[in-house]
Amino acid sequence: MYRAEAEGLAALAAAGAPVPRVFAVFERAGKATLEMQRLALGARADWPALAQVLAALHRNTAPRFGWASDNWIGLAPQPNGWDGDWNSFWFERRLAPQASRARQAGFAFDLDALRGLLAGHRPPASLLHGDLWHGNIGFTPEGPVLFDPAVYYGDREADLAMTELFGGFPAAFYAAYQAAWPLDSGYAQRKHLYNLYHVLNHLNLFGAGYLGQARALVARLTALTREIS
């Protein structure tokens, strides 16, 4: 897990994103350690600057979707590999494993019925942070910083969608991102499909406290599917 995190931080740094420096990943007496730069967090939040950092990160693209190795989304394994089709990657590498775990825990739904929500959507394969919620960003006197990534190449909308979960980011962030690289109108529907991944992950990791949110999100997506069919 720590090696995957270090790899992700290195990828973000190589793309020009501000991250803590990694000094070492090692195991001693059966205990793994990731040694990183200590950050002076708690500075004034510059949300437009964070949006510009993210838009610049997303302009780093690849010819295919995915990542060369598997990594982690929180405490859950995140399968990667490569796929030339975004619809296939999202459903097979992201939603299907989470839906399978949720089904074993008693929450089942028709995942295939939602595939039409990405029909015809062909985004560039942008380098993503992958776990972009409020707890994985911070502000130092030098500016915004990103940490604890779950990197892969995917639709940049997936990063933006997660920023709207768990309290969301301020309006200034979204306005600055739109100014740097506007999203098209379909984002308003697709973001719910992208956030289903994270809601299912929380359901699978933390239990029934997320069941109501998962049910409501699947119902919303099912209704959207009917609207476009």
Q: Which of 160, 162, 132 is nearest to 148 (CA)?
A: 132
* DSSP code of residue 81: E
Among 132, 104, 110, 155, CA closest to 12: 132
- Considering 70, 83, 85, 131, which one is annotated as catalytic? 131
3-state class of 203 per DSSP?
helix
Q: How far apart are CA 15 and CA 49, in angstroms?
A: 16
Active-site residue, 85 included: no
For 20, 67, 99, the CA distances from 41, given in Å and listed in that order, are: 11, 30, 36
Question: Are 90 and 118 contacting, i.e. CB atoms less than 8 angstroms apart?
Answer: yes
SS3 (DSSP) at 141 = coil
- What residues are labeled active site? 131
